[in-house]
Each structure stands twice: as C-alpha cells, then as structure tokens.
C-alpha cells in the first residue's frame, strides 16, 4: 500500500471537505427539536427492552479543563489554572449520573469507558478516584472491558500513572501530535520527546494493556522531512496503537486556530506525502493499517478486530467494542441510545443551570429514520471494513441494495474508473489506493451532504 503512486489530478479532485464519520448522521445534523424528553424516552426504552441488560453500555465522560491552550485544538475546553473548578464539576457530573440512572436503572453493565477532554489529568488523583468510585456505584464494570483515559504528558508522572492503574484504567492515550520543536512552538504545546518516552516506558512497567499515541499531520511548520523524523521517533517508542489525524484548520469555527498563520500550513500535496510516509514507515515497522486514521501492532485488540471483521467506529474513532449504546456525561458530550443521538449543552453555565433545575443538560439530538439506519450501515461498513456486501445490508434492512442505492452506485462509477474501488453484483470494495480517499467514498452515501453542498464546516478529507 505504501508504494502506491498518487496521481496529482486525483489529489486535486478529492481535496475537498467532508466528515470523519464517527457517526452517521453527523453531529452537525442534530436539531434542538430533540431535547431532554426524547432522550429520557430512549433511556426508558433501553431499560424496559427485552434483554436490554444483555447489551453492555459504553460510557464517555468529558472533562473540559486544560491548563494551557493548544492552538490546533477543536475540542470543547476551558483554559484555567484554577484546579478547584474540577471539584465543582465532579459534583455536577454526579447529579447528571443520578438523573440518568433514575430513567435507565441501576447496575447496567459497562464494557467500555473513555475519559476525554480537555485534559482528564487536569483532575487530581483523588478527584479521578472519586469519579471512578461514583461511576462504579451506579454501573457494573465488566471484567476485561476497555477503560481508557486521555493523557496530557505534561500533567502526569510515573506515580500518577500508577494511580490510574489502581483506579482500573487499562488503556492510555498520549497526546503527542509532533516531536519537532518548531512545530510544538507553532502550536503552543512544548513537550520534550524524552518525557513521552519515559511515560510510555512506565506505562508498560505498570501493566497497561494498550498505549495509544495521537499524531497530527498538516500542522504549521511541518514538512514531509520533519514529519518523517517524528515518525522515526514514534517507531522507536513503539506504542500499541497510533491515531494519525489530519489537522482540520477551521479558524472561523474554532477561535484558538486563529493564532495559526495559514501561510505556515503545509499544502494538500505535502499532507498526502506525510500520510503516505506514515503508512510506509509504520507498516515497515510492523504496524497494521486499521483504517483511515488508525494503526496498531498485530497483537493489539484493534488489529485483531480488523482481521476478524469486528471493527466498529464511534465518537472516539475506531473501536473493538460492539456497536453498543453510549451514555455521554459532561458538557458538550455526545451519546447514542438506541436509534437516537444526543448532545449536551456546550457551556458550563448552561450545564450547571439545567442540572440545578433537576433537568438533564441535553441541547440537541436526533432520532434516526429508517433511511438513516440503512445509510449508517453502509457508511460504517466502508469506514471500518472497506467493503459493503449487498446481501448483508438487504437482510438487515429489508431493501434491494442496487435499487435503493441506484444513484449512489452510478456516482461511484467514476471512482471505480479512478481505481478507488471495485464493484460487482454482490459488493463494493475499497482498493488500497481508495483507502486514502475512503471518506470521499462514504460521502456518496451521505444523503444530508449530497443535499447540502456547503461543506465548509468540515475538514479536508486529505
């Protein structure tokens, strides 16, 4: 795959904006007409459903605080050095959990937990222990589940990692982005490589099952040459998983990004060279290309799931867990229960105010239609497996695939001619070349995107 020659005309044609498809429909389609009452109904339907407790839950907890601002960041975060704000936030998280449990029922099994942000390690060890104890009082954590936390290397020590292990976390994700000093300075995130190497080594000694490293290509001051140096250091670091994201420069939406000068950003062609280099370097080093933005060592659960056709995709990216309901807690967090999506309010003032009123802080969401569910199946199959078997979709949704998606199949013919995919009477398969453009292939099946040509709110797919 890494030896493929990429046609410049192909790059120009697909240098467009599009979703990452951590969900379908995408979060920008959520509406305020979907509110607390709709979410509560979804919780109660899960509680009362036949065999509902047999299907484990996933939990996501958003911790919005960071001590310093990273200019590239598009997350919902609050920059503060006042750590006492964490204690107040935990009190409100407990109120939100109590309201969820009142309608969901006590003791539901959880097989996956992810603490994201912001920087979850903004909280002290005692506060993280308090949070975990509160969650364990209300949910039943399954043995062998995936319990992960995002780590800002600048905020932890070996001792802090040991405390996380004691609290039950078995997976860590380190935000690295780039090891190059000039790039770190340009994005206002200085962290020496030695610091990350020491922490990853400590993580292994402490017995964490999987260590992930986040990288971003397309950052200011990056070049293919400097990024190759970072990749070489990552290979020496040898994390179990690597999440490789394309930087999404959307300064009109994310104020911190206005501090990044557009002229310092690498062009699309250079970004493709960086992606191609990453595939070459990482695959030569023994990593499996899981899909779009993830690599894993062959023995890691993510690579195993890919081989066995059990890969899934959720709001945190690729996952080994079944396509389970996700209860999202905290400001701005996005969850899914049954055929519904919901998102909490985005500001702390709104979040606290609604919880003070005894209300869940749902700001918007949507109930999926039958058409949404069919298209979701197709898009997730493309994103996770790189192929869609028509018969599988037909049996699951009682449709005639070629008739239902006749316009889409016609639109894919050009991509087939360009070598991005193959089609026959039974399936669509993304080619090795097509994996570079898999978001573009999935976009063909996105009814909302095809109806709305204003895609400026999305990042470039390359």
**Residues 302, 373: one domain?**
no
Q: Provide the 3-class DSSP secondary structure of residue 440.
A: helix
Final residue of a structural domain among 329, 357, 392: 329
Q: Is residue 238 part of a domain?
A: yes
Task: Check whether 119 has a pLDDT greater than 90.
Answer: yes
Mean pLDDT, the chain, integer: 91
pLDDT score for 457: 57
Distances (CA, A) of 371 to 112, 268, 376, 398: 28, 34, 8, 11
411 is in an annotated binding site: no
Q: Confidence class of residue 161 from pLDDT cuts 50, 70 and 90?
A: very high
Q: Confidence class of residue 18 from pLDDT cuts 50, 70 and 90?
A: confident
Q: Is residue 361 part of a domain?
A: no
75 is in an annotated binding site: no
pLDDT score for 435: 82
- What is the average per-residue pLDDT within 158-166? 97
Task: Check whether 52 has a pLDDT greater than 70.
Answer: no
Name which of 5-14, 212-221, 266-275, 363-372 the model is least confident about.
Answer: 5-14
177 is in an annotated binding site: yes
Q: Is residue 39 part of a domain?
A: yes
**Residues 32, 131: one domain?**
yes
- What is the average per-residue pLDDT within 365-392? 95
Q: Is residue 156 part of a domain?
A: yes
Task: Check whether 38 has a pLDDT greater than 60.
Answer: yes
- What is the average per-residue pLDDT within 282-311? 89
pLDDT score for 406: 97
Please report, for the domain that includes residue 373, its CATH number. Answer: 1.10.10.920
**Residues 65, 149: one domain?**
yes
117 is in an annotated binding site: yes
Q: Is residue 345 part of a domain?
A: no
DSSP, res 460 = B
pLDDT score for 331: 97
74 is in an annotated binding site: yes
10-24, 210-224, 272-286, range with greatest mean pLDDT = 210-224
DSSP, res 339 = T
70 is in an annotated binding site: yes
pLDDT score for 87: 96
Our count of domains for the chain comes to: 2
**Residues 287, 428: one domain?**
no
**Residues 324, 376: one domain?**
no
pLDDT score for 320: 81
Q: Is residue 357 part of a domain?
A: no
**Residues 236, 297: one domain?**
yes
**Residues 128, 256: one domain?**
yes
Residue 58 CB coordination number (10 Å): 25
- What is the average per-residue pLDDT within 358-378? 97
Cα distance between residue 348 and residue 13, in whole Å:
42
pLDDT tens digits, one per residue of 344-354: 999 999 999 99
For residue 335, give both structure tokens.
Answer: 């969850």
pLDDT score for 74: 85
Final residue of a structural domain among 301, 329, 357: 329
**Residues 66, 153: one domain?**
yes
Quick one: which H or E segment has residue 205?
A: helix 193-205
Q: Confidence class of residue 5 from pLDDT cuts 50, 70 and 90?
A: low
How far does Cα 220 stand from its chain's mean position? 22
**Residues 111, 214: one domain?**
yes
Give the residue numbers spanning the domain of 190: 27-329
Confidence (pTM): 0.91
Please report, for the domain that includes residue 84, its CATH number. Answer: 3.80.30.20
Q: What is the DSSP string of 249-298?
A: --TTT-GGGGGS-GGGSPPHHHHHHHHHHHHHHHHHTT-EEEETTEEE-T
**Residues 5, 33: one domain?**
no
Q: Confidence class of residue 462 from pLDDT cuts 50, 70 and 90?
A: low
Q: Confidence class of residue 436 from pLDDT cuts 50, 70 and 90?
A: confident
Q: Is residue 214 part of a domain?
A: yes
**Residues 133, 269: one domain?**
yes
Contacts of residue 183, defined as CB under 8 A and 6 or more positions apart, other chains included, come to: 177, 219, 220, 221, 222, 226
For residue 290, give both structure tokens.
Answer: 């899981």
**Residues 176, 237: one domain?**
yes
Phi-psi region of 51 (alpha: psi -120 to 50; beta: other; left: phi over 0): left
325 is in an annotated binding site: no
Task: Check whether 40 has a pLDDT greater than 80.
Answer: yes
pLDDT score for 454: 54
Task: Check whether 338 has a pLDDT greater than 70.
Answer: yes
Contacts of residue 249, defined as CB under 8 A and 6 or more positions apart, other chains included, come to: 218, 257, 260, 262, 265, 459
Final residue of a structural domain among 278, 309, 329: 329
Task: List phi, psi (to 5°) of 65.
Answer: -85, 145
Q: Is residue 429 part of a domain?
A: yes
Name which of 100-109, 180-189, 200-209, 315-324 the model is least confident about.
Answer: 315-324
- What is the average per-residue pLDDT within 203-230? 96
248 is in an annotated binding site: yes
73 is in an annotated binding site: yes
334 is in an annotated binding site: yes
């Amino acid at each position: 795959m890494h030896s493929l020659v990429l046609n410049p005309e192909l790059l120009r044609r697909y240098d467009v904006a599009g979703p990452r498809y951590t969900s379908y429909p995408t979060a920008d389609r959520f509406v305020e007409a979907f509110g607390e009452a709709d979410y509560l109904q979804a919780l109660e339907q899960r509680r009362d459903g036949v065999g509902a407790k047999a299907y484990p839950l996933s939990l996501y907890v958003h911790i919005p605080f960071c001590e310093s601002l990273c200019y590239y960041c598009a997350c919902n975060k609050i920059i503060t050095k006042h750590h006492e704000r964490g204690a107040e936030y935990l009190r409100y998280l407990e109120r939100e959990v109590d309201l969820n449990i009142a309608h969901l029922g006590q003791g539901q099994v959880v097989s996956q937990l992810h603490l994201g942000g912001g920087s979850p390690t903004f909280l002290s060890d005692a506060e993280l222990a308090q949070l975990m104890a509160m969650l364990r009082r209300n949910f039943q954590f399954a043995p062998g589940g995936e319990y992960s936390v995002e780590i800002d290397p600048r905020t932890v020590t070996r001792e802090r990692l040991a405390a996380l292990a004691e609290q039950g976390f078995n997976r860590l994700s380190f935000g690295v982005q780039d090891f190059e000093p000039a790039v770190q300075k340009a994005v206002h995130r200085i962290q020496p490589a030695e610091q990350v190497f020491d922490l990853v080594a400590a993580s292994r000694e402490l017995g964490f099952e999987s260590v992930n490293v986040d990288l971003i290509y397309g950052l200011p001051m990056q070049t293919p040459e400097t990024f190759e140096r970072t990749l070489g250091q990552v290979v020496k670091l040898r994390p179990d998983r690597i999440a490789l994201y394309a930087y999404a420069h959307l300064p009109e939406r994310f104020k911190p990004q206005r501090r990044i000068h557009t002229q310092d950003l690498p062009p699309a062609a250079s970004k493709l060279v960086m992606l191609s280099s990453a595939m070459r370097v990482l695959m030569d080093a023994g990593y499996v290309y899981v899909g779009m933005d993830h690599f894993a060592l062959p023995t890691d659960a993510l690579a195993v799931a890919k081989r066995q056709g059990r890969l899934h995709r959720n709001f945190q990216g690729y996952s080994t867990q079944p396509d389970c309901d996700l209860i999202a807690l905290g400001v701005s967090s996005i969850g899914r229960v049954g055929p519904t999506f919901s998102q909490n309010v985005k500001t702390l003032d709104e979040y606290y105010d609604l919880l003070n009123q005894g209300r869940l802080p749902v700001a918007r969401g949507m109930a999926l239609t039958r058409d949404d569910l069919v298209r979701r199946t197709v898009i997730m199959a493309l994103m996770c497996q790189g192929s869609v078997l028509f018969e599988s979709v037909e049996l699951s949704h009682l449709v005639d695939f070629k008739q239902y998606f006749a316009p889409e199949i016609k639109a894919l013919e050009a991509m087939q001619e360009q070598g991005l995919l193959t089609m026959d009477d039974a399936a669509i398969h993304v080619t090795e070349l097509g994996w570079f453009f898999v978001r573009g292939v999935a976009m063909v099946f996105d009814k909302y995107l095809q109806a709305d040509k204003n895609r400026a709110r999305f990042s470039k797919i390359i």
